[in-house]
C-alpha cells in the first residue's frame, strides 16, 4: 500500500475529508472500496502513521510551529521583517495575517509557499512521493539534529507542493485538524483495535495483528510491553460512594507526580535484572529516571520474580519533609546523579502490580489466591493483587514505597461510607495532597479509556467541585489563539493584580499593576466574542524593546508562552473572577505567585478595574482555601448544581431563589410610599448583614425600604464618577465581611451604622453625625471629627449619657503589651522538641541566669574572682548549657543567690525584681543549693515539695526558711508587728502539708492572720509577712 499510494493523492483525500461534516462519512471516504483496492492486503501501518501521527511513538521530531517557521525563514532567505517572514513568525497575529488562515500555521505556510513551490504539477507517480517515501523522510527528520533537519526541509520545499507541505507540517506537529478522533479510526479498522492499543501503545503491532475482524483480541501484557495504565473517572462528591455499587473499596491520596509503570525482568542468566520505566503515554523514561531510582527498585522487589508495578514518580524533600510539585521532576532527575541538592531525590510510590512472572510466581499466586492457576493477574480482583504486592515488594520510606491505602468495608451504610470518604478528602487536602482516589476492591485491571468508563477507579479533586480559590483580577494582556474557532484573535488572557491599593479619584501616572497568571478556559465562544469586542480598540502589541513597554512591565522578562502578544492599559481593562486549585510560588510572574489550573468564573463588567485584588491580599490568601466548602460538608447524593439557561422564566427563578441570594438581593421599593424628604440628596448603599440596634433587628431590605421612604436614593454598587463621595454613604451592620473591608480599603466613602438614620427618623430631623455613628471615615471626615472628638469618640464639650458611655467603653481599644515572656514561649514549644534538645549535659539550655557573684547588680563591676564560690556556680551553669548574664534584665529566667548571704543580697536586688514584676516578666529567685541539686541529678529539677519563707517587712527584714513549717512561729518577733498578712497562691494552698502548716500558724499566733489572694491587693499597699512558696525559691514582696 505504501508504495502504491501517492502522498499527493493522500493530501487530496484529506482535503475532501476536512470538507465533510459527519465522522461516519469521513471514515467511508478514507476506507472507501477504491482506497482498499489501492492498498491491497498490506498493512495499514504506513497510512495510520500519517493519518494519526500523535499515536506514532517511534517518531519524535522536537519541532513546533515557531521552530519550523524559523527554519523556513532561514531556508527561503526571508527577512523577519518582510511580509511573508512576518506571516510565518507571527502566524497567530490577525494584524499581520489578514486571511482566514490566521491561527493555523500549516495554512499560513501554504499561502506563503503557493508562489514558491518548485514541485512539478504532473500527476505522474514517478514524479511525486509515495506514502513510503514520506515515511522514510519523516524517519530521517526524527533522527536528525537541527542542521541535518534543515536539509530535510530543503528537500521537502524542493519536491512538494504547497498543499503537500501544509499536510506535512500537520503531521510533524501531530495535529491533523480533520475533525476525526483516533478512537473512531481504530474502531472502524477493527472492533478490538482501541483496546489493543491501550494495552500495547504500539500502533504497528495493532496493524499487523488485527487484520481480520473475525479474530478477536485477547488482552495480555508482559515486561517491556508498553500499555496505557488503568485510569480513574472523576465524579461528583455526592455520588462518589454510589459509583462503588456497594462493594468494598480502597481510599488512597491523589499524588502530584508522573504516572509511571515500572517493568522488572530477570536476564537470561538470572544473575541480574533489567528495569525499564514507562510513562502513561508510553514514553520510555528509563534513561531519565533510571539512574535515580532503579537500584532502589531492584533492592525492594523479590529477586525470584519478574513484575510490572504501577505507581507514581515524585520528588521528596528531606528537609521540608514533603513531596515537591510535578514540575520539579525533570530538574531533580538531572541533578540527583550529580549530587546537586542532595536533600531532594526521586521517590517511586507503588499502588498496584499488574504482571507477575518468574520461578516463584505460580506458588505466590496459588498461595495468595487459592484455586487460581492463571498467570495473568490482571484478571484478579484488586484486593488479591495488593496481597501479591505485599509478598513481592518491601517499602523503603521516601525512596520506593507502597502508597497508604484505607479499606472501606461493604457492611457499612451508604451514609457512613460517604462520611468516611469526605473526612478523608479533607484530611488529604489539609496534608497537601491533590485529592483522593477510590478503587473498587473487587475490580480487575483494565487498560486505557475503557477503564475510565467502568468507574472502578474514581478521583475526587477540589477543582472539580468549586472548592477552590475565587479571585478578582484585572486583564493586562492577551494571547492569540489557534485553530478555526479561536484563531486570529485574542483567546487567552494575561491577568494581574494591583501592587497596592489606589484611590480612583487620584490615579498615579504609573498605575502599579503586576502580572499574576494567564487563563484560557471557562468561557463560551459567545462570552469570548463579547470580551474581544469590548477590548479590541485598546490592544497594543508587546514591544521587545524594554523601554517602549508600559512602566509596570519594564522589569519583567517573560519567557516562552508566558510573554503576551498584546497589552492593555489598566484604565481600559475589565475585571475577571477566576478560580483554580491552589496558589503556588512561581518565578514566571511578577507577583511571585500564580494560580494552578486557573479557570474563568465570570467576566465582571459590573466592577471597576481598580477593584481587583492587591498583592497584599493575594499573599494573605496563599495556602488558604477561603470561601470554599470542605468535602465533609457535601451531603451524600448531593448533585453538582447545573448551570441555568438564560432563557429560563423569571418566575421560576423567583420561586426557587436561584441566582442572587435573598440576603444580598435588593429590596422591592416599587410600592414603598414616600413618608418624608428627610434624607433627600443622600445616596445610600446598604450592605448585607443583620442590623441590631435598640433591641430591634433589621434586614438589608428593611433598611433600604426605610431609607427610600424618607427620600434617600438607594443603590447597590456606588461609583465615584456617578455618586459623589460627599453625599454618598455605605450603610453596614459591622466592620466584618469582605465587602465592608473592600470599601474600607478603597477609602472613598464614609461607612455609617444604621443608628444615625433611625435616630433622625425618630426625631424627624437630620441630626449631626457623631463619632460613634461611623464604622469608617474618609480622611476628610476624620479631620472634621478630630477637632470635635477624642480618640475614643467622646465629644469635647457635649456631656455623655449612660448609653453613649457604655458604647464608648465597649468599642474603646486599649494598648496591650503583647510581647510574650520567655516562659510562655517555652510552653508553646512541643514536648517532643524540648526532650530532643535537652540532654544530661545541657539541661540548663532553656535558662538565662543571673548569678549573684559581683558587688553590684547593674553590670558596672564585673571583675571575676576565681575564689568566689558563686564564680564556680556560674561556670557550672555555662558548662551545662545555661546562659549567664552579669546584670538583671527582662530576659533573665532565674536569679541565683549565695546560700550564706540571702537576706542581704535579696534586699539589694529587690528594686530590680519589683520593676520586672510590673512588666509581667518576674524571674525565679533561688539559691546555689538548687544549682547543686540539678548538677547531682543531671537534670533541671522540678518543684515537688514546699518550704515556708518568712519576710518581716516592718522590723528586721529577715527571711526565715525552715522545715517543717509549724516551727517557724517561735522565731518571729511579734512585738514589732501589729498585723500579719499571709499570702499563698492557689496551687500551694491546696497542698495538704501547707494547709496544715497554715492552720497551725494561725492557731499558735496571738494576733489575727488573714489569708489574702495574690490579686486582691494593690501592689505596695500591704506588708507581706508570710509567704508559702516552692523550695529553693524566694518570693519578693
Separation of alpha carbons 565 and 549, rounded Å: 12
Distance of CA 913 to the CA centre of its chain: 49
Residues 536 and 530: their CA atoms lie apart, in Å, by 10
Pair 297, 412 in one domain: yes
> Are residues 414 and 480 both part of a single domain?
no
- Interatomic CA distance for residues 542 and 549, integer angstroms: 7
Distance CA(31)–CA(48), nearest Å, equals 11
User: Vertex 450, ends 447 and 452: CA angle to 5°?
Assistant: 90
Are the C-beta atoms of residues 481 and 495 closer than 8 Å to each other? no
Instruction: Give the per-residue pLDDT at 812.
Output: 65
**Which three three-digit cell numbers place residue 286?**
528509563
Cis peptide leading into 964, omega within 30 of 0?
Answer: yes
Residue at 748 is within a domain: yes
Query: pTM here?
Result: 0.46
User: Which residues have C-beta within 8 Å of that of residue 940, sequence separation ≥ 6?
Assistant: 838, 843, 844, 846, 847, 934
Give the pLDDT of residue 425: 83
Q: What region, left, alpha or beta, does residue 339 occupy, with left being phi > 0 and alpha being psi -120 to 50 degrees?
A: left
> What's the grid cell of residue 142?
526524527
Chunked in runs of 10, what are the mean pLDDT values of the chain (1037 residues)?
Answer: 77 93 91 73 85 90 92 92 92 88 92 76 58 93 88 91 95 93 90 86 87 74 90 84 89 93 89 91 92 95 94 90 84 92 94 92 88 76 94 95 94 88 79 86 89 90 60 93 71 91 73 90 83 92 84 84 90 90 79 82 87 83 48 51 37 35 65 84 88 79 89 82 83 86 89 92 88 90 88 82 77 58 55 65 86 85 86 92 89 88 83 78 84 88 42 32 33 34 40 44 38 35 40 40
The three-state secondary structure class of 798 is coil
Is the residue at 648 inside a domain? no
pLDDT value at residue 982: 42
Residue 410 DSSP one-character state: T
Q: Cα(37)–Cα(925) distance, rounded to whole angstroms? A: 105
Grid coordinates representing 711?
427620600
Residues in Cβ contact with 270 at an 8 Å cutoff, skipping those fewer than 6 apart: none
User: Cβ(311)–Cβ(254) under 8 Å?
Assistant: no
Residue 527 corresponds to which cell in the numbers above?
A: 462570552
- Cα separation, 850 vs 868, whole angstroms: 15
Return the axis-axis angle of helices 361-368 and 382-392, rounded to nearest 10°.
130
For 511, phi and psi rounded to 5 degrees?
-70, 125
Please report which residue ranges of 789-848 form alpha helices under DSSP H: 802-811, 822-828, 831-837
Whether residue 311 sits in one domain with residue 329: yes
> Considering only CA atoms, which of 1028, 958, 954, 1021 is closest in space to residue 995?
1028
Range of the domain at 844: 825-1029
Of the three residues 597, 624, 651, the one that is the final residue of a domain is 624
Q: Which residue has the cell 514518580?
A: 313
> Which residues are within 8 A (CB) of 367 and not within 5 positions of it... i.e. 6 or more apart?
391
Q: What angle do CA 147, 148, 150 make, to 5 degrees?
A: 70
Q: What is the CATH number of the domain that holds 519?
A: 2.40.50.140
SS3 324: strand
Q: With H, G, I as helix, E, B as strand and everything else as coil, classify residue 277.
A: strand
Q: How many CA atoms lie within 13 A of 734 on its CB side?
A: 8
Clarify whether residues 367 and 452 are in a common domain.
yes
Contact (CB, 8 A) for 1002 and 924: no
In a domain, 634, yes or no: no
- Claim to verify: residue 288 and residue 365 sit in the same structural domain: yes
Whether 80 and 86 have beta carbons less than 8 Å apart is answered as yes
Q: What is the DSSP letter of 728?
A: E
Same-domain status, 458 and 495 = no
For residues 173 and 249, state if they share a domain.
no
Whichever domain contains 726, its CATH number is: 3.40.50.10190
Q: Quick one: cell of 849?
A: 541566669
1016-1021, long-range: CB < 8 A, 24+ apart: 1019/917, 1019/918
- Residue 346 belongs to domain with CATH number: 3.30.470.30
What is the rounded CA–CA span in Å between residue 302 and residue 389?
Answer: 10
Question: Considering the domain boundaries, does residue 429 fall inside one?
Answer: yes
876 and 742 share a domain? no
DSSP secondary-structure letter at 980?
E
CA separation for the pair 287, 348 (Å, rounded): 15
> What is the grid cell recorded at 971?
522565731
Instruction: Give the angle subtended at the CA of 782 by the CAs of 779 and 784, to the nearest 5°.
Output: 115
Identify whether residues 367 and 431 lie together within a single domain.
yes
Domain-embedded: residue 817 = no
Question: Is 224 domain-assigned?
Answer: no
Alpha-carbon torsion (424, 426, 429, 431), positive or negative? negative
- 142-160 residues labelled b (16+ CB within 10 A) or e (exposed): beeeeeebeebbeebbebb
Please, are residues 881 and 841 in contact by the beta-carbon 8 Å criterion? yes
Domain count within the chain: 5
d(CA 994, CA 965): 8
Decide if 321 is inside a domain. yes
Confidence (pLDDT) at 186: 92
Residues 485 and 607 reside in one and the same domain: yes
Q: Locate 960 and state its grid cell.
A: 526565715
CA distance 6 to 167: 13
pLDDT at residue 398, as a whole number: 93
CA distance 655 to 199: 52
Looking at the structure, do residues 457 and 582 belong to the same domain, yes or no? no
Residue 133 in grid coordinates: 517515501
User: Is 901 domain-assigned?
Assistant: yes
Domain boundary among 430, 464, 498: 464
Q: What is the pLDDT of residue 1029?
A: 42
Q: Beta-strand (E) ranges in 249-386? A: 249-254, 258-266, 273-279, 306-317, 322-324, 344-357
Q: Closest Cα to residue 582, out of 628, 526, 535?
A: 628
What are the backbone angles phi and psi of residue 770, rounded to the nearest 5°? Answer: -105, 160
799 plus 842 within the same structural domain? no
Boundary-marking domain end, from 449, 464, 479:
464
3-class DSSP state for residue 323?
A: strand
Contacts 24+ apart (CB under 8 A), 632-635: 632/419, 632/422, 632/423, 632/425, 632/426, 633/422, 634/237, 634/238, 634/422, 634/465, 635/238
Q: What are phi and psi of 738, to 5 degrees?
A: -65, -40
Distance of CA 227 to the CA centre of its chain: 33
Amino acid at each position: 500500500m505504501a508504495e502504491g499510494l501517492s502522498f499527493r493523492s493522500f493530501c487530496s483525500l484529506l482535503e475532501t475529508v476536512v470538507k465533510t461534516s459527519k465522522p461516519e462519512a469521513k471514515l467511508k471516504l478514507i476506507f472507501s472500496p477504491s482506497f482498499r483496492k489501492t492498498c491491497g492486503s498490506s498493512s495499514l501501518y504506513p497510512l495510520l502513521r500519517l493519518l494519526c501521527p500523535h499515536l506514532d511513538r517511534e517518531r519524535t521530531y522536537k519541532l513546533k510551529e515557531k521552530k519550523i517557521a524559523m527554519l523556513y525563514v532561514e531556508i527561503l532567505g526571508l527577512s523577519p521583517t518582510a511580509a511573508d517572514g512576518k506571516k510565518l513568525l507571527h502566524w497567530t497575529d490577525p494584524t499581520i495575517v489578514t486571511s482566514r488562515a490566521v491561527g493555523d500555521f500549516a495554512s499560513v505556510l501554504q499561502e506563503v509557499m503557493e508562489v514558491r513551490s518548485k514541485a512539478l504539477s504532473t500527476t505522474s507517480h514517478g514524479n511525486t512521493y509515495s506514502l513510503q517515501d514520506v515515511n522514510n523522510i519523516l524517519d530521517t527528520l526524527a533522527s536528525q539534529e537541527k542542521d541535518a533537519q534543515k536539509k530535510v526541509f530543503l528537500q521537502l520545499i524542493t519536491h512538494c507542493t504547497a498543499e503537500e507541505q501544509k499536510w506535512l507540517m500537520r503531521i510533524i506537529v501531530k495535529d491533523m485538524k480533520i475533525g476525526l478522533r483516533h478512537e473512531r479510526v481504530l474502531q472502524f479498522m477493527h472492533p478490538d483495535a482501541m483496546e489493543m492499543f491501550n494495552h500495547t501503545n504500539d500502533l504497528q503491532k495493532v496493524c499487523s495483528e488485527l487484520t481480520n475482524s473475525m479474530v478477536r483480541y485477547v488482552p495480555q501484557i508482559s515486561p517491556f510491553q508498553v500499555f496505557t495504565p488503568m485510569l480513574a473517572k472523576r465524579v461528583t462528591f455526592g455520588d462518589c460512594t454510589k459509583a462503588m455499587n456497594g462493594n468494598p473499596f480502597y481510599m488512597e491520596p491523589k499524588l502530584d507526580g508522573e504516572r509511571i509503570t515500572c517493568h522488572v525482568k530477570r536476564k537470561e542468566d538470572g544473575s541480574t535484572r533489567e528495569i525499564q520505566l514507562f510513562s502513561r503515554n508510553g514514553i520510555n523514561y528509563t534513561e531519565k529516571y533510571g539512574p535515580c531510582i532503579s537500584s532502589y527498585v531492584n533492592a525492594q522487589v523479590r529477586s525470584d520474580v519478574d513484575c510490572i508495578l504501577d505507581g507514581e514518580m515524585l520528588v521528596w524533600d528531606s528537609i521540608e519533609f514533603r513531596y515537591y510539585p510535578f514540575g520539579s521532576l525533570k530538574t531533580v532527575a538531572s541533578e540527583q546523579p550529580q549530587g546537586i541538592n542532595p536533600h531532594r531525590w526521586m521517590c517511586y510510590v507503588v499502588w498496584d502490580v499488574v504482571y507477575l512472572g518468574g520461578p516463584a510466581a505460580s506458588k505466590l499466586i496459588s498461595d495468595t489466591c487459592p484455586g487460581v492457576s492463571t498467570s495473568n493477574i490482571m484478571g484478579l480482583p484488586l484486593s488479591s493483587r495488593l496481597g501479591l504486592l505485599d509478598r513481592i515488594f518491601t517499602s523503603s520510606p521516601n525512596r520506593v514505597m507502597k502508597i497508604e491505602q484505607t479499606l472501606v468495608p461493604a457492611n457499612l451504610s451508604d451514609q457512613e461510607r460517604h462520611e468516611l470518604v469526605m473526612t478523608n478528602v479533607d484530611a488529604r487536602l489539609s496534608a497537601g495532597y491533590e485529592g483522593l482516589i477510590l478503587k473498587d476492591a473487587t475490580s480487575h485491571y483494565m487498560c486505557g479509556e475503557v477503564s475510565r468508563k467502568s468507574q472502578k477507579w474514581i478521583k475526587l479533586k477540589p477543582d472539580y467541585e468549586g472548592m477552590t480559590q475565587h479571585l478578582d483580577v484585572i486583564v493586562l494582556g492577551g494571547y492569540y489563539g489557534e485553530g478555526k474557532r479561536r484563531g486570529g484573535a485574542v483567546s487567552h488572557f494575561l491577568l494581574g493584580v494591583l501592587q497596592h491599593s489606589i484611590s480612583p479619584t487620584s490615579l498615579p501616572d504609573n498605575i502599579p499593576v503586576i502580572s499574576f497568571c494567564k487563563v484560557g478556559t471557562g468561557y463560551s465562544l459567545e462570552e469570548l466574542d463579547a470580551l474581544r469586542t469590548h477590548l479590541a480598540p485598546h490592544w497594543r502589541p508587546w514591544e521587545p524593546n524594554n523601554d517602549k513597554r508600559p512602566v509596570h512591565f519594564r522589569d519583567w522578562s517573560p519567557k516562552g508562552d508566558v510573554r503576551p502578544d498584546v497589552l492593555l492599559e489598566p484604565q481600559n481593562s475589565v475585571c475577571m473572577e477566576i478560580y483554580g486549585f491552589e496558589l503556588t510560588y512561581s518565578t514566571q510572574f511578577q507577583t511571585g505567585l500564580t494560580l494552578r489550573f486557573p479557570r474563568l468564573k465570570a467576566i465582571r463588567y459590573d466592577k471597576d478595574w481598580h477593584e481587583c485584588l492587591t498583592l497584599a491580599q493575594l499573599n494573605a490568601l496563599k495556602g488558604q482555601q477561603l470561601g470554599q466548602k470542605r468535602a465533609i460538608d457535601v451531603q451524600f447524593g448531593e448533585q453538582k448544581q447545573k448551570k441555568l439557561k438564560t432563557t429560563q422564566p423569571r418566575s421560576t427563578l423567583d420561586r426557587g431563589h436561584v441566582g442572587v441570594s435573598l440576603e444580598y438581593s435588593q429590596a422591592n421599593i416599587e410600592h414603598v410610599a414616600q413618608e418624608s424628604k428627610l434624607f433627600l440628596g443622600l445616596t445610600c448603599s446598604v450592605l448585607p448583614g443583620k442590623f441590631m440596634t435598640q433591641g430591634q433587628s433589621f434586614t438589608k431590605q428593611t433598611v433600604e425600604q426605610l431609607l427610600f421612604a424618607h427620600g434617600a436614593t438607594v443603590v447597590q454598587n456606588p461609583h465615584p464618577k456617578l455618586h459623589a463621595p460627599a453625599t454618598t454613604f455605605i450603610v453596614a451592620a459591622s466592620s466584618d465581611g469582605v465587602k465592608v473591608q473592600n470599601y474600607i480599603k478603597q477609602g472613598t466613602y464614609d461607612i455609617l451604622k444604621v443608628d444615625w438614620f433611625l435616630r433622625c427618623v425618630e426625631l424627624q430631623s437630620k441630626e449631626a453625625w457623631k463619632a460613634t455613628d461611623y464604622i469608617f471615615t474618609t480622611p476628610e471626615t476624620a479631620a472634621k471629627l478630630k477637632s470635635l472628638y477624642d480618640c475614643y469618640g467622646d465629644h469635647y464639650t457635649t456631656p455623655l449619657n449612660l448609653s453613649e458611655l457604655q458604647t464608648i467603653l465597649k468599642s474603646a481599644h486599649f494598648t496591650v503589651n503583647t510581647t510574650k515572656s520567655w516562659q510562655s514561649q517555652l510552653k508553646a514549644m512541643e514536648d517532643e522538641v524540648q526532650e530532643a534538645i535537652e540532654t544530661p549535659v545541657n539541661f540548663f539550655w532553656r535558662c538565662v541566669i543571673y548569678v549573684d557573684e559581683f558587688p553590684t547588680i547593674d553590670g558596672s563591676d564585673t571583675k571575676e574572682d576565681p575564689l568566689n564560690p558563686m564564680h564556680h556556680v556560674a561556670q557550672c551553669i555555662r558548662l551545662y548549657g545555661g546562659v549567664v548574664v552579669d546584670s538583671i534584665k527582662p530576659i533573665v529566667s532565674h536569679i541565683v543567690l549565695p546560700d550564706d548571704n540571702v537576706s542581704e543580697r535579696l534586699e539589694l536586688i529587690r528594686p530590680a525584681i519589683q520593676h520586672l514584676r510590673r512588666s509581667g516578666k518576674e524571674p525565679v529567685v533561688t539559691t546555689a543549693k538548687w544549682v547543686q541539686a540539678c548538677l547531682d541529678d543531671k537534670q533541671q529539677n522540678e518543684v515537688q515539695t514546699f518550704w515556708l519563707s518568712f519576710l518581716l517587712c516592718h522590723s528586721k527584714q529577715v527571711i526565715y526558711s525552715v522545715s517543717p513549717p509549724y516551727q517557724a512561729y517561735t522565731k518571729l518577733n511579734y512585738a514589732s508587728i501589729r498585723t500579719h498578712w499571709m499570702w499563698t497562691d492557689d496551687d500551694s494552698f491546696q497542698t495538704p502539708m501547707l494547709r496544715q502548716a497554715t492552720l497551725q500558724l494561725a492557731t499558735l499566733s496571738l494576733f489575727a492572720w488573714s489569708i489574702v489572694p495574690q490579686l486582691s491587693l494593690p501592689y505596695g499597699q500591704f506588708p507581706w509577712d508570710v509567704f508559702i512558696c516552692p523550695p529553693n525559691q524566694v518570693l519578693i514582696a
